[in-house]
Structure 1
Amino acid sequence: MNNVLPHSLFTSFDIDLFRSGKHFQLYEKFGSHLLEVDGVKGGYFSVWAPAAKSVSVVGDFNYWVQGEHLLNVRWDGSGIWEGFIPGIENGAKYKYKIQSNVNGLVTEKADPFARYCELPPNTASVVWDLKYKWKDSGYMKTRADKNALDRPYSVYEVHLGSWKRKVEENRFLTYIEMAEELVAYVRETGFTHVEFMPVMEYPYDPSWGYQLVGYFAPTSRFGKPQDFMFLVDKFHEAGIGVILDWVPSHFPSDAHGLGFFDGSHLYEHPDIRKGYHPDWKSLVFNYGRNEVRSFLISNAMFWLQHYHVDGLRVDAVASMLYLDYSRNDGEWEPNIFGGRENLDSISFLKDFNEAVYANFDGVQTIAEESTSFPMVSRPTYVGGLGFGMKWMMGWMHDTLEYFKKEPIYRSYHQNDITFSMTYAFTENFMLPLSHDEVVYGKRSIFGRMPGDEWQRFANLRLLYSYMFTHPGSKLLFMGDEFGQSEEWKFDGSLDWHLLQYDFHNGIKKTVTALNKLYTSQPALFEKQFSQDGFEWIDYSDNQNCVISFIRKGNNPKDDLLVICNFTPVVREEYRIGLPSKSKLTEIFNSDHPDFGGSGVSNPKAVKAETKPWNGREYSAVVCLSPLGVSVFKIG
């Protein structure tokens, strides 16, 4: 007996939008929804399965018996199966049992639109009401200013499962516990934003969350959906923005996931040259299928709407842009113009960005993109992909290569540390030192630093100070802010005990001071993506391994002079050219004793004199600390 009543949340307009790839709120229609129909309370279920012969809802309410609750296929050829089951309550577990019309195959699938999932390794979806009383109205009214491109944007990247653990119980922190501990820590260290590696439900811990199954469900590892809302709410209460890693590039082939969903290639591209990712052994979305585009863009909108997130960092964009990404000759097919660009994916990314920025004020999309693909962070109306920012992978690679060299050899590699400025303003760049740089034998960021103990910590302070004074927004992976010694391990906790040691605590103090410098000095953020905000003083002093430049804001009175000394040699009388006859007041020095430094500084203001230097009419003599960065206010 079929105990499913005919019912629909879809209008004909919904169906038209879905089919055209323009329905961006599918989460209001698909999935499970608690409703009252003709005075009867229960659950409405709907799923897209056009190749299905029959679809049953199986769950703990019918002993997982196929055929007890058969959904009804819509008459309009949309491939949507739906129906209302009386008596369904919040917390009911369920899946879809799908018999394929193509090959008779029977699949048992989690709901692609489930708002909550069983704790892995269990795989059922859970009927869940997302009611929550938000308390962040004040923050939401002002976030457009907080998240603007001319505001400070300093990101603390976090893997929720390994930031900190309850050692005595060997368990994760919950969302509720993180709302107290993590929020307080990010506020203490001064970051403006936190970025979570994927929180959407995933089956396999070693994937770090990048192999998603529950695209609409925060992982149950740390609590319930409302608990995650509470965590976001608490970050907003502290004035901190929340960015989520989002993975529209690929998905795993787990039996309960999206792959071969209704016995056909529904979500993945049917051509293995476009539908399979050789690096991650995963499936690739079919970006040319309108219904799939609607699914993905709806997913992005869901997190922005229901979870109040402030940005989406889009993972592996490079793999989406190119048909030959990680493929050998003969393993890919050129596009209709004979090129290697994935035209469907490019079109999808433009649609995604247009939808996000048109519907939400004060949010940003950020591309993790490692190639020279043009105009990633330029508006679509001028031919760009439409992202707000792009990771500056070239800066990251060149800088880490430079810093791992002993200072005695750095004079031969000055170009590594200055080359980024030749293209720094071609995109809105974010400077990342991310989780990818502290795994797979690369060592921790601290582990790359050369020299004796003092020099290694001085080099790390130098690196971060150079990073925070370089144009662009910033991202630092958890643990880097106190000089984590070992590589990151996803199944453990950060080495918090290191903070008992002065040098490690000094790194934390340095990062905190740099965040304060970055957020308080307009010259470091007002024009961080504009050539107008930067001027070289000297990039050619490779003999001394010194570079110097000016950072500029809207008001010339805010201008800053930055001098970086990449050797352990104190330069007591270093002459520097200046654009005006001004005085220099040192406002930051990475060699400060509080940070673990030697205390070499410029305690008194330094006056410029009329003596030409560095091609400028005026100059001044300053003292450069060893392996240090000095920041001066020009006034």
Structure 2
Amino acid sequence: MVDETAIDHDIYLFHQGNLRYSYQLLGAHVVTVDGKPGVRFMVWAPNAEQVSVVGIFNKWDGRQHQMEKLNVNGLWCVFIPELEKGTIYKYEVLTAHGHLQLKADPYAFSSELRPATASVVYSLDGYVWQDDQWMKRREGMNLYESPMSIYELHLGSWKNIEEEIFYNYRDYAEMVIPYVKDLGYTHIELLPLTEHPFDRSWGYQATGYYAVTARYGTPDDFRYFVDQCHEHSIGVILDWVPGHFCKDQHGLRRFDGEALYEYANPKKAEKTQWGTLTFDFARNEVQSFLISNAIYWLKEFHLDGLRVDAVASMLYLDFGKEDGEWELNEYGGRENLEAVDFIKRLNEAIYEEVPNVLMMAEESTSWPLVSAPTYIGGLGFNYKWNMGWMNDMLRYMEMEPVHRKYHHNLITFSLHYAYSENFVLPISHDEVVHGKKSLLNKMPGDYWQKFANLRAFLAYMYAHPGKKLLFMGGEFGQFHEWKDMDELDWELLDYDSHRAILNFMKQLHQLYRDMPALWELDHDQEGFFWIDPHNFEQSILSFVRNSRSTNDQLVVVCNFTPEVYHGYKVGVPKSGTYKEIFTSDAVHFGGSGQSNGLTLKAITEPWQGQDQHIEMTIPPLAVSFLKCTSKVKGEDYER
């Protein structure tokens, strides 16, 4: 039976902007009313003259099943008996201007496969989750003092059957999870899976915010994918796009004939550089829609976090706009105050409803306290992508090594602000597309040097404070930039150099996960100190990573030139014997083998601000990890 009192209360909360589970009220729901099974439809369309549910079941005739307007705020509802899961439908909306338009359901859980655009009735009941152990473990997980290495993944171009024909989510589970598990990643991050009409938008221009894209299967198929990830101790993060939506006619744009989900003011609504529309963050019902949507993905699909796309485009009224295309806020600033308030409310709601999940901001400016709690003035995310580090490092690595000494600050500057936020170091899809070249092909030099540079870069990335993210293909040295309509160049693994760098990534992850110094104090200044950041002439730098236990301390030495140095002095913080437990220059990684095979005894003579030093071989275009111990925990690593 339908609880009318509960529905009335939910309707009140929806219009107040406080209904965190609005998807349980609006949309299409398989229910029983007065003993009759059927589907209840509810939609928000305050400016419409009439709304009907249409589909094959009534020959798309809007006169058959007209909806009742429940209140002056524009909720429409109808119960249609005998309809069931799988019914294809749309809303026929008669606007105040007398125009009829067909719209997909904003709250639909499923949609037709593109190019078809209708919604599909789908029940979220019935799937039996098998991840209780993972979910229980997640409750007690320290998200900040744990290893986090994220494999960013676009399902359709990881592997496909042929162009624009894809595997099912269940098939991807069988293929992707063993691969990611073997490499040692802790998380998968998926590009958006909300329904979208155009493949090449990669999901960033959505029409169905509650519908898992039908390209790869059903909502339950996707639940299986997540379930299997958890079975193998892999977390799942989904890219989520609350900043804008596409203008396709069947979507949210002018849903009831007027600006509804978007701002009425075109200077606020239009995202000119993307050809999309901005949500009206001041509107209560839009807040209920978006906050509920974030909770929906986390709750109904057991996701472990959301990476929130294009946060800067939400925060700033002038983002991507020329003079005259935007207006100052009420205080004369360029901040979108409504969006700021929405973001804070979003994060507060998430942590109340789904504690201990990841909320990661892709925020590309110097907005302060992005990853700080709202009660101290922050935006409330728990992580921020470090776009500054990414831009500086890629610019540095693309230079010929002979020029790097003139730009040494690019690899050291990030430590000036490394603890101002909780950072993720991202090398994402955006860096290997649209003519930017693949990660491997960004690297200068001959064939050998390209791979050596890539290994050095990745090793430095994993030694640097902050969690890690790498886009698919980077792990085996994809030569071509990302081809979003084709699968990865898996045939490259027939070649030694590409197999070697895949093995390098596997061993680097083993080192990373086994060494608390590389992640335990990522967000604490006690976790890092420089030994020598100043040797720009040789493009060499050295530093220490600490954990809470001094026994886990690591010394890291990086050389970003192809020169080899023997007997090079490195100041070390402790006396005793040091052993190189990992080097990116190992022969089986494709390196030159200029390693420190024997133990290195610290010499009691001050150097580089330390009371003692070692003399070591510095391999070319490489990073070396050293540990002071009489019995090295890392002896099992391939060196």
Using the size of structure 1 for normalisation, the TM-score is: 0.97
CA-to-partner distance for each residue in 1:282-329, whole Å, 9 max, x for gaps? 111000111101100000000111100000000000100001111122
1:170 CA drift (Å): 7.3
**Preserved contact between residue 15 and residue 78 of structure 1 (Cα < 8 Å):** no
How many angstroms does 1:344 deviate by?
0.3
Secondary structure in 2 matching 1:140 = helix
1:154-205, Cα deviation, whole Å (9 max, x unpaired): 10001111001225x9731211111100011110111100000001110001
Per-residue deviation, 1:146? 4.7
Match of 2:623 in 1: 629
Q: Given the alignment, which residue of 27, 32, 44 partners 1:48?
A: 44
- The answer as to 2:122 corresponding to 1:128 is yes
1:430 and 2:424 matched: yes
Post-superposition shift, 1:476? 0.2
C-alpha contact (below 8 Å) 2:164/2:485 kept by paired residues: no
Aligned equivalent of 1:16, options 7, 12, 29: 12
Q: Whole-Å Cα distance in 2 between the matches of residues 45 and 565 of structure 1? A: 63
* Separation in 2, partners of 1:170, 1:400: 31
Name 1:421's counterpart in structure 2: 415
The 2-side partners of 1:147 and 1:327 are apart by 40
Quote the residue 2:438 is aligned against. 444
Secondary structure of 2:408's aligned partner: helix
Q: 1:62 to 1:8 in 2, by over 3 A?
A: farther
Q: Which letter maps to 1:134?
A: W
Aligned partners of 2:520 and 2:548 also within 8 Å = yes
**1:108 counterpart letter in structure 2:** L
Partner of residue 276, structure 1: 270
What amino acid maps onto 2:23 in structure 1?
Y
- Given that 1:7 and 1:44 are in contact with CA atoms closer than 8 Å, whether structure 2 keeps it comes out as no
| Residue of structure 1 equivalent to 2:33 | 37
3-state SS, counterpart of residue 158 of structure 2: coil
The answer on whether the counterparts of 1:7 and 1:82 sit within 8 Å (CA) in structure 2 is: no
C-alpha deviation, 1:147, in angstroms: 6.2
Query: How far apart, CA to CA, are the structure 2 residues paired with 1:201 and 1:405?
Result: 40
Q: CA deviation at 1:105?
A: 2.4
Distance in 2, Cα, partners of 1:33 & 1:470 = 49
Distance 1:176 1:146 in 2: 27
Q: Tell me what 2:632 maps to.
A: none
Percent identity over paired residues: 50
- 8 Å Cα contact 1:150-1:526 kept in structure 2: yes
Moved >6 Å (runs of 4+): none
Deviation of 1:446 (Å): 0.6
Deviates more, 1:7-16 or 1:447-456: 7-16
Q: Separation in 1 of the partners of 2:334 and 2:123?
A: 44
Q: How far did 1:580 drift?
A: 2.3
Deviations 1:501-540 (A, max 9, x none): 1111111111111111111111111111121111000000
Partner of 1:203: 197
The answer for the alignment partner of 2:303 in structure 1 is: 309
User: Which of 552, 564, 583 is residue 577 of structure 2 equivalent to?
Assistant: 583
Q: Out of 579, 582, 602, which is 2:596 matched to?
A: 602
| 1:234 aligned onto 2:222 | no
Alignment RMSD (CA, Å): 1.4
> More deviation in 147-156 or 379-388?
147-156
Kept in 1: contact 2:2–2:32 (CA 8 A) = no
CA distance in structure 1 between the aligned counterparts of 2:337 and 2:519, rounded to whole angstroms: 35
State the SS of the aligned residue for 1:541. Answer: coil
Structure 2 counterpart of 1:185:
179
Q: Residue 262 of structure 1 aligns with which residue?
A: 256
Partner-residue secondary structure (3-state), 2:614: strand
1:138 matched residue in structure 2 = 133
SS in 2 for 1:577: strand
Tell me the CA shift for residue 15 of structure 1: 2.2
Confirm or deny: 8 A CA contact 1:8 1:82 kept in the other structure.
no
Q: Does 1:246 align with 2:240?
A: yes
Tell me if 1:536 matches 2:530. yes
Match of 2:320 in 1: 326
Alignment of 1:488-503 (within 5 A): 488-503=482-497
Q: Which ranges of structure 1 fall in alignment gaps of 5 or more residues?
A: none
Aligned-partner SS, 1:488: coil
Q: TM-score, normalised by structure 2?
A: 0.97
Alignment equivalent of 1:457, drawn from 451, 460, 466: 451
Query: Structure 1 CA distance, aligned partners of 2:496 and 2:414?
Result: 33
Could you list the runs of 5+ residues in structure 2 that have no partner in the other structure?
A: 630-639
More displaced, 577-586 or 465-474? 577-586
The superposition leaves residues 251-307 of structure 1 with CA deviations (integer Å, 9 ceiling, x where unpaired) of: 011110000000111100001111110111011100011110110000000011110
Judge conservation of contact 2:41–2:79 (CA < 8 Å) in 1.
yes
